[in-house]
Structure 1
Amino acid sequence: MSPVNSLWFKWKSLRLPWRKSFLVGSDLKGNTYWEFKDALNANRFRRIVKFDPKTHYSDVQVSPQWHQWLRRVRDNAPSIEEQKADIVRQMQMKQLARLADERWASKPSYLDNPKTPKPRTPATGTSDATLSSPQRNEEGIPDASTTTSDQPADNAAPAAKDKDPWATARGGPSENWEPETWAPKPTQR
């Protein structure tokens, strides 16, 4: 702020009895905040903000501290140091939020598909352990020569590929079930 503006602000902030409006303070964006006597009630002061006339209405931003002062939530106007401390607090919150987002993004999501597909359960009646677990040798190490359910065996019978996997699943107790027709009984009076 220039020395001329500083002197003008000090002069306008003096509460002289003949003055109708008093400068209360300014924010870091250059907006000035004023109090003036209400025309209907001389005991009450009204509070307004004046911004640069070159600024468009949608670009005017009032900080939360000044907004509280305008709405009479707080009695005293915020100081420049308090406004600077709030800017530092906002920067720290943005930094902490960024770090929290990075930590959250680094964890695996339960909504994503797993990296390794689960083996399918066979419908032909063979156990899952015989298809998906490899055979182990006497030391307990899996043998690489055995096949799993994902790798078809070379000596598999061609008839097994043509066999219907749902043939054994058909014919259950509810396969041909149909509901009975509803016939209400006469009520007794």
Structure 2
Amino acid sequence: MSPINSLWFKWKSLRLPWRRSFLVGYDLSGNTYWEFKDTLNSGRFRRIVKPRSRTHYSDLELSPQWHQWLRYVRPKPPSIKEQQDDIQRRERILLLAEIQRKKWETEQSQLDAPATQQSGLPTRTSDRAIKVGEESRMNAPGADALWTKARGRPEASTAKEDPFFRPKDVPGRKWQPEPWTPTSSKR
């Protein structure tokens, strides 16, 4: 910032009694933030932003700190050092996110690596795998369900496995609740 601009900012930030608006600060984009006394609403100070010249209102981007100050969430305006630290923090977060994304891409997921997955159980009795390890497969836990799927036999469905399982005591689709009639309570 030029020395002339800094002198002008210091002059405008002085809270002199005849001034209507006071410069509070500026951001790194060149926007200025002002406070003025609202005479219509009980003398409360209003806060506004004046964008730099040649900036359309739709292109205006405020930092979170200045937005908090404008909405009275933050009592004091942010300093230039705080705004610069916030930009460095954002850059570090983006860098760490990029490093993590690259790390995730290099690691192979079990779902993405079909070569490491086991092939399905053989479905024909002529397959050599059925004859070789039939005894060990039948004694494994959960082998019955796998064996019936491999052989094409229907397996018994339970409430946890079948999403359409409905117990017998559940009312049908046309069931409607009975109207409630309040009764006096006994004392």
TM-score (ref. length: structure 2): 0.65
- Tell me, yes or no, if the aligned pair for 2:13 and 2:24 is still in contact at 8 Å: yes
Of 34-43 and 82-91, deviating more is: 34-43
Of 54-63 and 28-37, deviating more is: 54-63
Deviation at 1:46, TM superposition (A): 0.2
Deviation at 1:111, TM superposition (A): 3.5
Distance 1:116 1:70 in 2: 57
* SS class of match (1:22): strand
Q: Which residue number corresponds to residue 183 of structure 2?
A: none
Name the amino acid aligned to 2:57.
Answer: Y
Structural RMSD (CA): 2.6
Q: Which residue number corresponds to residue 36 of structure 1?
A: 36
Q: In the alignment, does 2:125 pair up with 1:124?
A: yes
Alignment of 1:167-178 (within 5 A): none
* SS class of match (2:29): coil
Identity %: 57
Structure 2 segments unaligned to the other structure (5+ residues): 134-150, 155-187
Number of equivalences: 136
Deviation at 1:72, TM superposition (A): 0.5
Distance 2:42 2:3 in 1: 34
Distance 1:58 1:109 in 2: 43
Q: In the alignment, does 2:91 pair up with 1:91?
A: yes
Name the amino acid aligned to 1:9.
Answer: F
Q: Which residue number corresponds to residue 63 of structure 2?
A: 63
- Tell me, yes or no, if the aligned pair for 1:122 and 1:128 is still in contact at 8 Å: no
* SS class of match (1:73): coil
Structure 1 segments unaligned to the other structure (5+ residues): 133-168, 174-189
Q: Which residue number corresponds to residue 78 of structure 2?
A: 78
Distance 2:24 2:114 in 1: 61
Compare the two structures and name the one with the higher helix fraction. 2
- Tell me, yes or no, if the aligned pair for 1:69 and 1:75 is still in contact at 8 Å: yes
User: Which structure ranks higher in relative contact order (CA pairs < 8 Å, sequence separation ≥ 6)?
Assistant: 1
Name the amino acid aligned to 2:97.
Answer: A
Deviation at 1:45, TM superposition (A): 0.3
- Tell me, yes or no, if the aligned pair for 1:12 and 1:22 is still in contact at 8 Å: yes
Of 111-120 and 73-82, deviating more is: 111-120
* SS class of match (1:23): strand
Q: Structure 1 runs of 4+ off > 4 angstroms? A: 129-132
Deviation at 1:104, TM superposition (A): 1.2
Q: In the alignment, does 2:100 pair up with 1:105?
A: no
